[in-house]
């Protein structure tokens, strides 16, 4: 097998340029096994290098002139840059200097980006949109740092004790699990963590809601990109099983009030005829009960939603509370869970089961049947009109509702 000739450009007079018009080709001289070779070299289409070797210099020159002439007359296609092409190429090189990207790499990236956009719109505008929604200069904060800052903010806002406890319990676990920057946490990671808690659908959705609140806080503080959903917003909502709203009948409420002692009666009456939550009832003080003006004030620090609300006192509720109105301090003393246990044990003594959250559900159902306004009932309950409308609409008849609001100490004694 012959070794390829070594082309040398240092030999005297070589490489030799052969011209035909404005076309130039080159002849190179080399030696192999002691013999001289003359190589014609030029570039064809696709920048392909074409070479032909000759043992005789005269024959090489004749071929070189012939090739140059054919290129000049267009009989051979070669890669040529016009004057305008050379200027454009030089300009492209200058523009790309600061990026460190070659012309061919830039062309490849442009072509790929153009395909992604399907040829519609400006690639520059697409880049600006991406930069706006994926800023790289965001301050880095870990999940733990955002959690602690969020908790302190809620304390400063005088959020309810229960809400602060939820933050510490649920988001505290989140911060211990995700120790890196909050901007690195993905939707899939959040879904896996929530599912791994092993709780039911309702509880998972409660956790999801709190996590979304934390991520929205991070976005508001500039730790996550603004004007776009966070990773938490895309976490799937767990499918909750249909729930049956359990309420007391007017007969059951009459029986249980008749069975209850003085310590429990205000709890039953306010829960059933004003709709306060168990936790709100346990924080209620007698100064919050204004029989003169006919309302109960649920202050922000006692409300689950940390928002103050005014609940009207119905005529029958005023009759139930009147004998106890001169008392001071908390309405109900002692441990909240034990007190609730004492209340719920009254139901079996009256030959029926205590419905889950029965007092509040009863209030909503019978109140909506009378006033016909989900917005009004929601305002009194500290809830949303949508929940009130979907959960309590048409659960009871108007006749049953009228019986409910006529339950008084007199009717209970008569029974």
Interatomic CA distance for residues 35 and 29, integer angstroms: 10
Which residues pair with residue 54 across a beta bridge? 38
Q: Spell out a b/e string for 287-320, using b for 16 or more CB atoms within 10 Å of the CB, else e.
A: ebbeeeeebbbbbeebbbbbeebebebbebbbbb
Give me the average pLDDT of each 10-residue run along the chain (415 residues).
39 79 85 87 73 89 86 67 68 81 80 81 77 70 96 89 89 95 94 93 93 96 88 92 85 95 94 94 93 94 85 96 84 87 92 92 92 90 85 83 92 53
Q: What is the DSSP string of 51-91?
A: EEEESSHHHHHHHHHHHHHHHHHTSS------HHHHHHHHH
Q: Which CATH class is domain 250-414?
A: mainly alpha
d(CA 375, CA 306): 19
pLDDT score, position 333: 86
Q: Report which secondary-structure segment, H or E, holds 36.
A: strand 35-43
* Of 225, 19, 8, residue with least CA distance to 130: 225
Strands 295-298 and 309-312: antiparallel
Reply yes or no: is the peptide bond before residue 190 cis, omega within 30 of 0. no
The whole-model pTM stands at 0.52
Do 351 and 252 form a contact (C-beta atoms < 8 A)?
no
The CATH number fitting domain 143-234, selected from 1.10.150.130, 1.10.10.60, 2.40.30.160, 3.30.70.3000: 1.10.150.130
Domain boundaries, the chain: 6-73, 83-133, 143-234, 250-414
The two structure tokens encoding residue 40:
């014609």
> Which tokens hold the place of 70?
């054919």
Q: Minimal CA–CA distance to 334: which of 267, 382, 383?
A: 267
């Amino acid at each position: 097998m012959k070794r390829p000739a070594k082309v040398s450009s240092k030999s005297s007079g070589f490489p030799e340029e052969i011209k035909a018009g404005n076309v130039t080709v080159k002849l190179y001289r080399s030696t192999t096994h002691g013999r001289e070779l003359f190589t014609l070299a030029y570039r064809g289409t696709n920048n392909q290098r074409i070479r032909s070797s000759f043992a005789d210099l005269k024959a090489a020159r004749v071929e070189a002139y012939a090739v140059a002439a054919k290129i000049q007359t267009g009989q051979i296609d070669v890669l040529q840059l016009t004057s305008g092409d050379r200027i454009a190429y030089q300009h492209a090189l200058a523009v790309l200097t600061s990026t460190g990207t070659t012309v061919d790499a830039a062309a490849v990236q442009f072509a790929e980006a153009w395909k992604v956009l399907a040829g519609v719109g400006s690639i520059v505008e697409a880049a600006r949109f991406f930069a706006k929604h994926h800023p790289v200069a965001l301050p880095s904060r870990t999940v733990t740092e955002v959690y602690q800052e969020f908790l302190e903010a809620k304390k400063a806002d005088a959020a309810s004790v229960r809400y602060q406890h939820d933050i510490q319990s649920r988001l505290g676990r989140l911060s211990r699990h995700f120790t890196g920057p909050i901007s690195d946490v993905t939707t899939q990671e959040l879904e896996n963590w929530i599912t791994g808690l092993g709780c039911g659908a309702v509880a998972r959705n409660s956790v999801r809601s709190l996590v979304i609140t934390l991520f929205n806080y991070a976005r508001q503080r500039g730790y996550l990109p603004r004007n776009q959903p966070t990773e938490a917003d895309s976490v799937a909502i767990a499918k909750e099983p249909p729930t049956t709203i359990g309420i007391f009948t007017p007969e059951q409420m009459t029986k249980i009030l008749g069975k209850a002692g003085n310590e429990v009666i205000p709890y039953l009456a306010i829960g059933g005829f004003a709709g306060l939550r168990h936790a709100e009832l346990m924080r209620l003080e007698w100064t919050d009960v204004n029989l003169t003006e006919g309302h109960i004030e649920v202050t922000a620090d006692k409300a689950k939603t940390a928002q103050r609300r005014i609940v009207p006192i119905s005529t029958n509720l005023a009759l139930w509370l009147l004998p106890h109105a001169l008392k001071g301090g908390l309405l109900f003393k002692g441990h909240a869970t034990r007190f609730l246990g004492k209340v719920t044990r009254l139901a079996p003594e009256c030959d029926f089961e205590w419905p889950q959250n029965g007092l509040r559900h009863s209030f909503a159902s019978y109140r909506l049947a009378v006033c016909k306004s989900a917005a009004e009932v929601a305002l009194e309950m500290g809830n949303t009109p949508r929940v009130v409308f979907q959960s309590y609409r048409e659960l009871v008849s108007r006749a049953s509702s009228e019986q409910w609001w006529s339950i008084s100490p007199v009717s209970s004694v008569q029974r």
